[in-house]
Amino acid sequence: MLSQSSRSFILAALGGALLLSVPAHAGVELPPLDDPQFVEWAGKASADLERYLADPKGTFAMPAEGKAFPCEVPPDVLSRIIGVRLPGVPPDEDLRKAMARATRGTGMKPFEFTDVVVRPVEASCKDGKPAGLFKGWVEYTMVNASATAIQRDRTRKYVETGFAENGERRGLVIERTMSLESRAEWTDPAMADMMRKNPVKMPRMTMTSFIYTQVNPDKSHKGVTISHTAMEGEPPSVSTLLMFPKGPGRWLMVSYDGRQKTMEIPFRNNRMHGAQVQYARMYRGIAIPASTVCYDEGEQVKTTQCDVD
């Protein structure tokens, strides 16, 4: 399934397009849902959001100590379980290639995770090896470095998932994530000097996401994510992300602002594959134009017809 690394990379690569959303009013406005499983997961994610809005600190209160695994867990296995790549663990080959393609010629470096804290609430082993069920908390900093700046984003999340001996997640995966802090450090001397002389106060933003995802036996994905974004000086907003299975190793990711569809992104084997479609809409009085970008196994293709299969 999409790891936190992959999910974060995709959102970053799309320039935050999936996070654009209309102001949320009473309750959570959802897109039309016909699938009973989507309805169930969306109901649970909506309830998670309502609990968070009623008690933000309590919802994301991480325990001071965790319960240790009853057996030794290699770092790469733990990384797969928690969905965060521990320092020193290399990215899997698909993600490494995707990051290399996306950052080629940009001066950016592949992102890394630092200061990772893992506090299990429940963790199991079988025959001396990690396997079974994991419930617990993870806190980490994702570091994105470019030629001029370093961006550090601190996140806390709760994870509940079944897993195999190699750490591969199984069954329904439940995650609740909250952004804690975001800060930039200018490494380019000229830019740093300019920002020091002309400081810009960036509005504080907190984003929380409530995620229900399942990997099917054929490696296709199905899931619901409801995200709440609160930005200083702006009304809060809610967006929805649906993942529709489309055959072996394939799925379609569709984002919504309320009931309005905003974007479709097809995937094959964890890579964008096919026509990525952005729908025309208005966002806070700004017209967002329609657009289509074609991808072939994660590579952007310049073509008028996206026939990649």
pLDDT interval class at 298 (50, 70, 90): confident
Per-residue pLDDT reduced to its tens digit, 93-107: 766 666 666 666 556
User: What is the average per-residue pLDDT within 272-290?
Assistant: 88
Rounding to the nearest 10 degrees, give the CA dihedral for residues 180, 1, 44, 17.
60
- Cα separation, 122 vs 2, in Å, equals 22
* pLDDT the model gives residue 108: 66
Q: Are 248 and 218 in contact (CB under 8 A)?
A: yes
* pLDDT the model gives residue 187: 78
Instruction: Write out the two tokens for 213.
Output: 């995802």
- Under 8 Å CB-to-CB from 78, ≥6 apart: which residues? 86, 118, 130, 167
Q: Are 295 and 272 in contact (CB under 8 A)?
A: yes
- Cα separation, 167 vs 169, in Å, equals 6
Q: Where are the domains positioned within the chain? A: 4-301
Per-residue pLDDT reduced to its tens digit, 182-203: 888 887 788 877 878 777 777 7
Q: Are 130 and 108 in contact (CB under 8 A)?
A: no
- Cα separation, 104 vs 294, in Å, equals 18
- Under 8 Å CB-to-CB from 239, ≥6 apart: which residues? 18, 19, 20, 21, 226, 227, 229, 255, 256, 257, 262
- Cα separation, 234 vs 211, in Å, equals 24
Looking at the chain, the whole-number percentage of residues with pLDDT higher than 70 is 85
For the cut 50, the answer to whether the pLDDT of residue 23 exceeds it is: no
Q: Are 226 and 210 in contact (CB under 8 A)?
A: yes
Q: Are 6 and 191 in contact (CB under 8 A)?
A: no
* pLDDT the model gives residue 256: 93
pTM (predicted TM-score): 0.83
Per-residue pLDDT reduced to its tens digit, 119-145: 999 999 999 999 999 999 999 999 988
Q: Are 259 and 249 in contact (CB under 8 A)?
A: no
Q: Are 155 and 178 in contact (CB under 8 A)?
A: yes
Per-residue pLDDT reduced to its tens digit, 45-89: 999 999 999 999 999 999 999 999 999 999 999 999 999 999 999
First to last CA, the chain: 22
**Shortest CA distance to 21 belongs to which of 309, 291, 255?**
255
pLDDT interval class at 10 (50, 70, 90): very low
From the number of C-beta atoms within 10 Å of its C-beta (0-12, 13-18, 19+), residue 143 rates as middle
- Cα separation, 81 vs 160, in Å, equals 9
* pLDDT the model gives residue 27: 60
For the cut 90, the answer to whether the pLDDT of residue 244 exceeds it is: yes
What is the DSSP secondary structure assignment for residue 23, as one 8-state letter?
B
